[in-house]
Structure 1
C-alpha cells in the first residue's frame, strides 16, 4: 500500500487520520500503541467500533476504524463515546499522531527485525521526514510554553490566589426644574483576591475605594442611584470585607461574610442579565439590578444554599449589620438584622422563578433600603424614612418577593419582580411599601459581549401608613424608566451610555420630571 506523503497544508479530519494510520499499520504489519493526536480533551480506548455512538458502517473510514480497534486495540474516542470523525485536524495534530505511531513501531523493530522489510523501513523514514518540520515546530512551541509557565510561576504572588477587579469612571448629569445638580465625574475601584485551598472553596478578600457620592435630587430621594455609588463614597479611603464560600456536601454550600454581607451575594436574585452585584458591567441603576427587598439589611452573615434537586434550590441566610460591635443592644443577635429564606425553581434553562421572605429589624433611625445603612440606595425618601417616622421608632419588617426570568431566545430575555414590605413602627403603627418592575435584556446586541437593556417599574413606594393622626403624604407610584447600552470595546473595557427618567420623583407626580444621563466606562481585569 502506497501512502501519499504530499499532504496539502490544510486541515484534515479524524476519519482521514484513521484511514492513513490504518494504512501505515497494514504496510508495516506491526501492532500500534496509539493513534492519539494533540487534542484538548482526554481520550479513552475503545474495544470495538460498534461502541462509537457517531460512527456507522456506511462511513467511508469504517473499515479502518474497525481494524484499529479489532486488530490493534488502539482506537481512541472521547469520554462521551463519540469519535468526532469530521472534526478538523491540522498538520501539526496529524504529525503528533504519526509520531506516536512511529515511535511505537521503532520500539517493536528491536524484537521483530525479521518482520520488517527494507521497503517498510524506507517508507517509515519518508513519513518521518515529511512531518519533520511540523514536529520541530511543535517541540519549539512546547519549550516556549514551558519557559513562559516557569516565568509566570516565579512572578505570581500566590499559587492559590487570583486577583480580579473593576474600575468604574462615570460622568453624570441630571435635568429638571428644581434639580440642583452639576455634571459630576466619579470613580470607584474594586479589587477581589480570590483564593482556593481545595479547588471547591473560595475565600474572597474584598477591597473598595472611591469618591462616588449619592446625588442630591429633590426630596433627597434614593431614586436613580447608580450602581457605582453603592458603598462607593469612601473619601478614597480603603474599605475592606471578607467572605468564605465552601461546600459541606454536593448539595449543601455555606457562605460566611465578615461584614457588608449583602443578601444578594448568597441568594439567587433571578435577574441574570442585569444583576452583577453593582459591579458596573450591566445596568446603570441600583433599581434595575434586582428586587429592592434584597437591600433591606447586610453585615456579618451566614448563609446556606441547599440543592434539593437539579431544578430546586433552598436558600437560608442571616446577616447582622451591627455584628462586629460588642455593645449592649448590638452585636450578632441583639441589634439590626435581616433573615432571608428563598425557594428558587429553575425547571428548564430559559426559565426561573424565586419566592422570597425576609424578616428584618432596624433600630431607631436605621430603616432603609441601604444594605444595612440608613442611606437610600433605592426607592423614595418617603418610603425609606417611612414618611419621617423612622427617626423616632424602631422598625420590624416582613418582606415578600416574587422574581422571575425567561429567555425567549439567546438574543432576547425578560425578567421582573414584585415586592411588598410590611413595616411596623414599634409602638406606633404599620406601613406598606410596594415595588415592581419588568425588564427586557438584549444580550450580544451588535456584537458579542454587548448588552442592551430596558427596565420599567416603580421603585419602593410608600402606599399605606396606619398610624395615629393620619399624617398626609403622596401616594403616587415612583415610576422608573431606564435604558442603557453596554458596548464591549475590548475583552476588558466596556462603555455604557444610559438614561433614566423619573416621572414622579419622591412619589409625587406634581414634582417636575427628572432626567438623568450617564456615560460609564468600566475596566475589568
Structure 2
C-alpha cells in the first residue's frame, strides 16, 4: 500500500474513531512550488514577511495562540462513557473545520460530495468522503472545488492534526461534556500521542522559536516593504611592469589600498515591482584612461573604478530605477540614474562567470563586449519582452546628461545610446546566444560620469578618440554566446564591430573579440576560476583626411592581446577574496610598447 493511500486512510480512520466530528484544521503551508510568481521576470528582494505569517494553520490552535502542553489521554480515561451521541454540525466551531491550503481564497462550505470535481462514485474512499461532507460538513475543499485526496501527508502534518484533535478533547472536557467521549477512542488517541510525542515536542519547540524570532523582527525591522543590502569592496593592487604609452616612461610600480561601498534599498509595493536606490562611494582609481593615467591608455582598465567627477569616498546616488511588470511577459525599467545596458542584463547576463558587481572578472573588458560600453550612466527606459521562455527582446534608451538644460544636453537633444538585443536561452539554460545592436551619438565637448566623451571606454586611444568640434555617431553590432559544457566548465565568447562617423569629417571602423573559460566550484564548492583572452577595441581603418591624434588616416598598426586570470575564493556566503592578473601585449596596439602587467587582490563583503 502506498504512503499516499496509508496517510489518506489514517486520516479518515481517525475521524471515524472519534465519531464526535473532531475537525482537523489541516492548512498546508505555501511552499515554493505553489507560490504565485511571474515565470518571466521574478522580482527579488521585495517584501519582508514575518515568519509567523508563513506558519501552516495547523501549527496553531483555534484561538491562534502558541500550542499549549496537551493533557495526557490517561488522565481522561476514567470518566468516559461507552456511548457517544453524534454532534450536530452547528455544535462545531468554524475554526475546527477543514480548510484549503489558502484560507484567503477558500471556497464556501460544500453540502454535497458531488461539488468536489475530482471525487467520483467509483473512488475507494467515496463513501467516507460523502459522510464527511454530507453528514458532518467538515470538508471545504480547494478554491477550484477539488479535494486533492492523493496528496501525501507528512508526519509533521499528521502530528499537528492529532494535536488539534487532542485540543478539541480538552475543550470538551473543560466544557463538562466529557461524557460524549468513548473510552476506546481515547485509548487509540493515547497510542497515537505516544507514537508522535517526538514530533509534537519538536513542533512546539519550532513554534516557540518562531514566535520569539517574529517578535524580535517586528521590534527591529527596518521596513515592511524595503530591504537593505550592502556591498563593500577593498582592493590592493597596482602596475607590476609596463610603460606609459604617451610619455614612453616606466609607469610607477606603487601598490595601493583602495575601496568602494555600495548600499542598495530594494522596495516593493505590490510584490511584483521593485524600486531600487543605490548609493555608492569609493576611491578606486583607474590605472589608465584615454591618454591619461599611469599607463596612458584604457587597455586593461580594471572594473568598478570610481567616477573622476566626484571626490573620493563621497557617497552619491549611483542608481535609481523602478521596475514593474506589464502583463506576464513584459518588464519595464524606468531609471533616472543607471547604465541602460545593465538594465537589459537584469534577466540574466550573457557572460555570468565573468560579469558581476565587485565579483568575477578583474578587468572591465573581460566582463562584456564593447557593444555595451559606448554608453554611460544616465536616465532612460529599458523594456524586456519574452516571446517565450527561450526568446527575449530587450530595448533601451539612455540619455547621458538628462539633467542639464544647456545646448547639446537634456533628455533628447544631447548624448544618448539606444540598444536592442535578441537573446536566446536553451531550455536547460546551459546555452545562451545574443545578437546586439547599439546606436549612439555624442555632441562635441560633452562628458559623462565616466569622464569620457565618446567611445567604448576600453581599448586603444584611437578607438576612443573624436575630432575636435565635431559630433560623433556610431552603429555597433555584437554577437555573444555562452555554453556550460559541464557543471564545472563553461565557455563564453563574443565578437564586436563598430562603424564610427565623425560628422562632416570622415569614418572609422573598430573591431574587438574575446573568449573566456570558467571553472565553477574549482577546488571548493562556491569558488570560481577564470581565464580570458581577447583583443580589446582596435581602430582598424580611418578616413584619410581624419586625424585622431596619430596623423591623417592613421589607425592602430599592431595587434594587442588582453590576457587575464583570476581565482575567486568564497570564504563564506558573505566574503570572497579574488586575486588576479591582467597582461596586455603591445599596449595601445603598438608593438614598440613593452607589455604591461597589473596585479589585483580584491576582497568583497556582502550583507
Number of corresponding residues: 496
Q: After superposition, what is the alpha-carbon deviation per residue over 1:180-228, rounded to whole angstroms, capped at 9, x for unaligned?
A: 1311111001111111112111111111100001104665211222222
Q: Pick from 265, 280, 285 the counterpart of residue 213 of structure 1.
A: 285
Matches of 1:367 and 1:293 in 2, distance apart? 19
**Is the contact between residue 538 and residue 556 of structure 2 (CA under 8 Å) also seen in structure 1?**
no
Alignment of 1:185-334 (within 5 A): 185-216=257-288, 220-229=296-305, 231=307, 234-240=311-317, 241-267=319-345, 269-276=349-356, 279-298=357-376, 299-334=378-413
Q: Which stretch of the first structure deviates more once superposed, 149-158 or 435-444?
A: 149-158
Q: Pick from 85, 95, 100 the counterpart of residue 159 of structure 2.
A: 95
Matches of 1:126 and 1:149 in 2, distance apart? 34
Q: Which residue of 1 aligns with 2:68?
A: none
Q: After superposition, what is the alpha-carbon deviation per residue over 1:382-417, rounded to whole angstroms, capped at 9, x for unaligned?
A: 2112xxx44443211111111122222332222211
Alpha-carbon deviation of 1:15? 6.9
Q: Which residue of 2 aligns with 1:138?
A: 203
Matches of 1:302 and 1:434 in 2, distance apart? 28
Matches of 1:368 and 1:207 in 2, distance apart? 18
Alpha-carbon deviation of 1:491? 1.0
Q: After superposition, what is the alpha-carbon deviation per residue over 1:152-182, rounded to whole angstroms, capped at 9, x for unaligned?
A: 2232232211111210011113222434131
Q: Which residue of 2 aligns with 1:125?
A: 190
**Is the contact between residue 340 and residue 381 of structure 2 (CA under 8 Å) also seen in structure 1?**
no
Matches of 2:149 and 2:304 in 1, distance apart? 48
SS of the residue 2:397 aligns to: strand
Return closer, same or farther for 1:396/1:33 CA change in 2, 3 Å cut-off: same
Q: Pick from 132, 152, 172 the counterpart of residue 237 of structure 2.
A: 172
**Is the contact between residue 235 and residue 601 of structure 2 (CA under 8 Å) also seen in structure 1?**
yes
**Higher strand share goes to which structure?**
1
Return closer, same or farther for 1:368/1:405 CA change in 2, 3 Å cut-off: farther
**Is the contact between residue 577 and residue 604 of structure 2 (CA under 8 Å) also seen in structure 1?**
yes
Matches of 2:218 and 2:455 in 1, distance apart? 44
Q: Quick check: 1:153 aligned with 2:197?
A: no
Q: After superposition, what is the alpha-carbon deviation per residue over 1:104-141, rounded to whole angstroms, capped at 9, x for unaligned?
A: 67889999999964122223134335545643553343
Matches of 1:323 and 1:345 in 2, distance apart? 32
Q: Which residue of 2 aligns with 1:408?
A: 485
Matches of 1:430 and 1:395 in 2, distance apart? 10
Return closer, same or farther for 1:66/1:391 CA change in 2, 3 Å cut-off: farther
**Is the contact between residue 36 and residue 76 of structure 1 (CA under 8 Å) also seen in structure 2?**
no
SS of the residue 2:510 aligns to: strand
Alpha-carbon deviation of 1:363? 2.2
Q: Quick check: 1:182 aligned with 2:273?
A: no
Return closer, same or farther for 1:457/1:420 CA change in 2, 3 Å cut-off: same
Where structure 2 has 5 or more consecutive residues not aligned to the other structure, the ranges are 35-99, 107-112, 134-138, 244-249, 546-550
**Is the contact between residue 542 and residue 554 of structure 2 (CA under 8 Å) also seen in structure 1?**
no
Return closer, same or farther for 1:372/1:314 CA change in 2, 3 Å cut-off: farther
**TM-score, structure 2 as length reference:** 0.71
Q: Pick from 491, 496, 518 the counterpart of residue 573 of structure 2.
A: 491
Q: After superposition, what is the alpha-carbon deviation per residue over 1:28-48, rounded to whole angstroms, capped at 9, x for unaligned?
A: 567674595876637769x99
Matches of 2:455 and 2:434 in 1, distance apart? 26
Alpha-carbon deviation of 1:326? 0.6
Alignment of 1:374-389 (within 5 A): 377-385=457-465, 389=466
Where structure 1 has 5 or more consecutive residues not aligned to the other structure, the ranges are 1-12, 53-61
Alpha-carbon deviation of 1:435? 1.0
Q: Which residue of 2 aligns with 1:481?
A: 563
Q: Pick from 447, 461, 485 the counterpart of residue 524 of structure 2.
A: 447
Q: Which residue of 2 aligns with 1:506?
A: 588
Q: After superposition, what is the alpha-carbon deviation per residue over 1:56-89, rounded to whole angstroms, capped at 9, x for unaligned?
A: xxxxxx98x8997687688999x9979675x9x5
Return closer, same or farther for 1:14/1:34 CA change in 2, 3 Å cut-off: farther
Matches of 1:368 and 1:293 in 2, distance apart? 17
Q: Which residue of 1 aligns with 2:431?
A: 351
Q: Which stretch of the first structure deviates more once superposed, 297-306 or 493-502?
A: 297-306
SS of the residue 2:389 aligns to: coil
Q: Which stretch of the first structure deviates more once superposed, 461-470 or 354-363?
A: 461-470
Matches of 1:450 and 1:327 in 2, distance apart? 49
Matches of 2:240 and 2:129 in 1, distance apart? 75
SS of the residue 1:99 aligns to: helix
**Is the contact between residue 578 and residue 602 of structure 2 (CA under 8 Å) also seen in structure 1?**
yes
Return closer, same or farther for 1:414/1:97 CA change in 2, 3 Å cut-off: farther
Alpha-carbon deviation of 1:472? 3.0
Q: Which residue of 2 aligns with 1:56?
A: none
Alpha-carbon deviation of 1:329? 2.1
Return closer, same or farther for 1:444/1:355 CA change in 2, 3 Å cut-off: same
Larger Rg computed on CA atoms? 2
Return closer, same or farther for 1:172/1:66 CA change in 2, 3 Å cut-off: farther
Q: Quick check: 1:361 aligned with 2:462?
A: no
Matches of 2:168 and 2:127 in 1, distance apart? 17
